[in-house]
Amino acid sequence: MSDAPAAPPRVSAEPRPAAEPRLLFTAPPVRPGWRQAPARVGAMCVVELQKLRHDRTELYTRAVQPALWLLIFGETFTRIRAIPTGGIPYLDYLAPGIIAQSAMFIAIFYGIMIIWERDSGVLTKLLVTPTPRAALVTGKAFAAGVKSVIQAVVVIVIAALLGVGLTWNPLRLLGVAAVVVLGSAFFSCLSMTIAGVVLTRDRLMGIGQAITMPLFFGSNALYPVAVMPGWLRAISRINPLSYQVDALRGLLLGVHAHLAADFGVLALAAALGIVSASALLGRLAR
Amino acid sequence: MTPPSDPAAEAVGCTGLIYSFGDTRAVDGLELSVRAGEVFGLLGPNGAGKTTAIRAITTLLPVPAGMVRVFGQDVARDRMAVRRLLGYVPQQLSADSGLTGRENVALFARVFDVPRAERAERVAQALEAVDLADAADRMAATYSGGMVRRLELAQALVSAPRLLILDEPTIGLDPIARTGVWDRITEIRTATGMTVLVTTHYMDEADQYCDRVGLMHQGRIRALGTPAELKAQLPADGGTATPPTLEDVFRHFAGSRLDKPAGEDFRDVRRTRRTASRVG
Ligand SMILES: Nc1ncnc2c1ncn2[C@@H]1O[C@H](COP(=O)(O)OP(=O)(O)OP(=O)(O)O)[C@@H](O)[C@H]1O
Ligand SMILES: [Mg+2]
């Protein structure tokens, strides 16, 4: 197993002379086109995970609110039995709704984040790299998904500790992750789209707060669509959060759900979100 | 100055570049030709339109086809191809404060498709080239302004750009760090033949490091040439024995607004302040 003596010594094996940054003298090869988009999305997700690794406080603080919802709202309404859940304990009914809610809150923040990145100049520099707008937006959307999945794991653990009977079937859990990623992709793109329209952080914060509550209460996260008044039912029908919650209930609790329709709506919503957010992203750079 | 006939020998070409923000005509018919391999300094007073011109060249601003070319590629038509050739350090200090220095550079290696096998080594070399090897694993939030600037330079250099665009790269750097930045740029440039387009308000820097400078004022180039040529062009300043400096050239071509009587200038400032407080 002797090395061929003619082989040039590996760069990394030699103590490199400091003044010779040889790799910086040649441009990297161009990756084939079809592999670029996934690579960019991967790069954005890596950055998200690196940031989470450096600062986990967000993970902890974001776990507080869903825990309170489950603990206070969930436990209380379980006793009251005011909401028809189709025979399952209210806490069980609520848990998927809270997973969707906390994922939505994380995703809605991405519009503010992209404006912050614009203001700090980070976005500007990324826009001058060979990264199509759509790839950048998709990367952010998936990064939101990665963060939301971590959050979903936290909520699932809290729910399990409170005695909610959730599935542990790995295939179904994989489905849960997919649903959470798609939902987060949509809501982060919605938020980035609004960011591309209003362009400033203050306006976006106002709008963000104004839409998250109606989206949450205008969905089946807390109560079934059947108890809603007609107009709210109409809102719920066009609200992607409802489809996300429906799919999560079906997968986690094994209750009846419209999985195919849910996945279809969520994938379409995410795709539309990516298209509109990337069309408006350039406005942030001007 | 006739433009070079071989389009590949021209790193940046602007013909009749116009860009307006609302009613403000920031760039007003800019004609610019940066030759491949040279260090070109874009000088000019605040608000001359330097940053706006650079943002048009870097594909950040939408400009019609035919106005800006980078190595023969039209910025409006071949955005991706142009971006592949660019390294860009914007005027504003910007690094992702939630990442380490190394991660900041690695992100740019990733988005420029540096193969995984050489990524770590390339990132390390870029960091070393700007003397940040020791601070590489600290969070960028803990960097001083000068360190952030050098980190940005590493981000721009990691993809071995053919055209490095620096918008006031040495602003806020101490004299030693400034020399350091320029030494690195010169070093890599001699090895790669990279073209550098730089803006600066330091006339000594322009004089020392730029092959040619263009003096921009109110959206257009008003004087162009090597620093020596520009200084020679200047009409001899009545009787003083000292030869003109590049700063004298700057004052000569860009000083039209500063020629106003002091009182008028002061009113201008007050008016601007009032507007500013109303806006803010
Ligand atoms: N985003 C913007 N919106 C409105 N006006 C702008 C914008 N950016 C620049 N301007 C205006 O365009 C003109 C040129 O600005 P620019 O930033 O290009 O100047 P500059 O030469 O880079 O100045 P400096 O040396 O101060 O950096 C100025 O009058 C400025 O007020
Ligand atoms: Mg500027």
Report how far ligand 1's centroid is from the alpha carbon of B91 (Å): 11
The Cα B129–Cα B125 span in angstroms is 6
Q: A229 exposed, middle or buried (CB, 10 Å; 0-12, 13-18, 19+)? A: exposed
Token pair listed for A254: 């094994």
Does residue B199 surpass a pLDDT of 90?
yes
Residues from chain A contacting residue B109 (CB–CB below 8 Å): 28
- A278 against B5, higher pLDDT: A278
The Cα A239–Cα A145 span in angstroms is 18
Does residue B99 surpass a pLDDT of 90?
yes
**A23 vs B122: CB contact, 8 Å cut-off?**
yes
Q: B5 exposed, middle or buried (CB, 10 Å; 0-12, 13-18, 19+)? A: exposed
Does residue B263 surpass a pLDDT of 50?
no
**A21 vs B128: CB contact, 8 Å cut-off?**
yes
Domain limits for position A239: 39-285
Token pair listed for A168: 């542990």
Residues from chain B contacting residue A286 (CB–CB below 8 Å): 60-62
Q: What is the pLDDT of residue B259?
A: 43
The Cα A267–Cα A252 span in angstroms is 19
The Cα A42–Cα A138 span in angstroms is 10
For ligand 1, say whether the CB of B61 is within 6 Å of any of its atoms: no
CATH code, domain carrying B32: 3.40.50.300
Question: B158 pLDDT band (50/70/90 cuts)?
Answer: very high
Report how far ligand 1's centroid is from the alpha carbon of A254 (Å): 59
Question: A12 pLDDT band (50/70/90 cuts)?
Answer: very low
Q: Is the C-alpha dihedral spanning A30, A128, B117, B180 positive or negative?
A: positive
The Cα B256–Cα B222 span in angstroms is 12
Q: Is the C-alpha dihedral spanning B136, B137, B140, B142 positive or negative?
A: negative
Classify B49 as helix, strand or coil: coil
Query: Looking at the complex, does the CB of residue A25 fall below 8 Å from at least one CB of chain B?
Result: yes
Q: What is the pLDDT of residue A281?
A: 93
Any idea how long chain B is? 280
Do the domain assignments include residue A15? Answer: no
Does residue A1 surpass a pLDDT of 80?
no
Do the domain assignments include residue A18? Answer: no
Q: How far is CA B119 from the centre of its chain?
A: 27
Question: B215, B224 in Cβ contact below 8 A?
Answer: yes
Do the domain assignments include residue B1? Answer: no
Distance between terminal CA atoms of chain A?
59
The Cα B254–Cα B18 span in angstroms is 20
Do the domain assignments include residue A33? Answer: no
Q: How many structural domains is chain B composed of?
A: 1
Region B83-90 average pLDDT: 96
**B155 vs A130: CB contact, 8 Å cut-off?**
no
Region A172-191 average pLDDT: 97
Q: What is the pLDDT of residue A31?
A: 81
Q: What is the pLDDT of residue A9?
A: 43
Give the DSSP letter string of A161-212. Answer: HTT------HHHHHHHHHHHHHHHHHHHHHHHHHHHHH-SHHHHHHHHHHHH
The Cα A176–Cα A153 span in angstroms is 10
Residue whose Cα lies nearest atom 31 of ligand 1: it is B47
Question: A59 pLDDT band (50/70/90 cuts)?
Answer: confident
Question: A275 pLDDT band (50/70/90 cuts)?
Answer: very high
Domain limits for position B187: 7-236+245-275
Does residue A17 surpass a pLDDT of 50?
no
Type and span of the H or E element at B198: strand B195-199
Q: A73 exposed, middle or buried (CB, 10 Å; 0-12, 13-18, 19+)? A: middle
Question: A189, A273 in Cβ contact below 8 A?
Answer: yes
Do the domain assignments include residue A254? Answer: yes
Do the domain assignments include residue A9? Answer: no
How far does the CA of residue A243 sit from the closest CA of chain B (Å)?
34
Do the domain assignments include residue B130? Answer: yes
Q: How many structural domains is chain A composed of?
A: 1
Q: What is the pLDDT of residue A25?
A: 85
Does residue A19 surpass a pLDDT of 60?
no
Question: A266, A182 in Cβ contact below 8 A?
Answer: yes
Question: A15 pLDDT band (50/70/90 cuts)?
Answer: very low
Candidate from A11, A43, A54 with C-beta closest to B107: A43
* pTM, two decimal places: 0.86
Do the domain assignments include residue A24? Answer: no
Candidate from B83, B110, B187 with C-beta closest to A128: B83
Cα dihedral A263, A277, B91, B72, rounded to 10, equals 100
Report how far ligand 1's centroid is from the alpha carbon of B90 (Å): 13
Region A199-219 average pLDDT: 91
Question: B5 pLDDT band (50/70/90 cuts)?
Answer: low
Residue with tokens 């350039």: A282
Q: What is the pLDDT of residue A24?
A: 86
Question: What rounded mean pLDDT belongs to chain A?
Answer: 89
Residues from chain B contacting residue A121 (CB–CB below 8 Å): 90, 92-94
- B148 against B238, higher pLDDT: B148
How far does the CA of residue B158 sit from the closest CA of chain A (Å)?
6
Question: A242, A236 in Cβ contact below 8 A?
Answer: yes
Token pair listed for A262: 């849910």
pLDDT in tens, A144-181: 999 999 999 999 999 999 999 899 999 999 999 999 99
Do the domain assignments include residue A54? Answer: yes
Token pair listed for A227: 């108890």
For ligand 1, say whether the CB of B46 is within 6 Å of any of its atoms: yes
Does residue B132 surpass a pLDDT of 80?
yes
Q: What is the pLDDT of residue B2?
A: 47
Residues from chain A contacting residue B152 (CB–CB below 8 Å): 125
For ligand 1, say whether the CB of B57 is within 6 Å of any of its atoms: no
Residues with CB under 5 A from ligand 2 (ion): B 50-51, 91
Question: A241, A186 in Cβ contact below 8 A?
Answer: no
**A21 vs B113: CB contact, 8 Å cut-off?**
no
DSSP A7: S
The Cα B86–Cα A170 span in angstroms is 46
Q: Which amino acid is located at B73 in the chain?
A: Q
Q: How far is CA A276 from the centre of its chain?
A: 17
Do the domain assignments include residue A31? Answer: no
Region B199-222 average pLDDT: 93
Does residue B248 surpass a pLDDT of 70?
yes
Does residue A79 surpass a pLDDT of 90?
no
Question: Which residues in chain B (178-217) have CB-CB distances under 8 A to chain A?
Answer: 187-188, 191-192
Give the DSSP letter string of B110-145. Answer: HHTT--HHHHHHHHHHHHHHTT-GGGTTSBGGG--H
For ligand 1, say whether the CB of B50 is within 6 Å of any of its atoms: yes
Chain A: residue whose CA lies nearest to B19? A286
Does residue B278 surpass a pLDDT of 50?
no
Question: What rounded mean pLDDT belongs to chain B?
Answer: 86
Q: What is the pLDDT of residue B86?
A: 96
Could you count the other beta carbons within 10 Å of the beta carbon of residue A196? 23
Q: Is the C-alpha dihedral spanning A231, A233, A236, A237 positive or negative?
A: negative
Q: What is the pLDDT of residue A189?
A: 97
Region A20-36 average pLDDT: 83
Q: What is the pLDDT of residue A80?
A: 84
For ligand 1, say whether the CB of B91 is within 6 Å of any of its atoms: yes
Q: What is the pLDDT of residue B16?
A: 95
Does residue B45 surpass a pLDDT of 90?
yes
Outline where DSSP puts E strands in chain B.
10-21, 24-35, 39-43, 68-70, 73-74, 86-89, 163-167, 195-199, 212-217, 220-225
**A24 vs B110: CB contact, 8 Å cut-off?**
no
Q: What are the C-alpha distances in Å from B199 to residues B121, B254, B280?
A: 30, 15, 28
Region B226-251 average pLDDT: 79
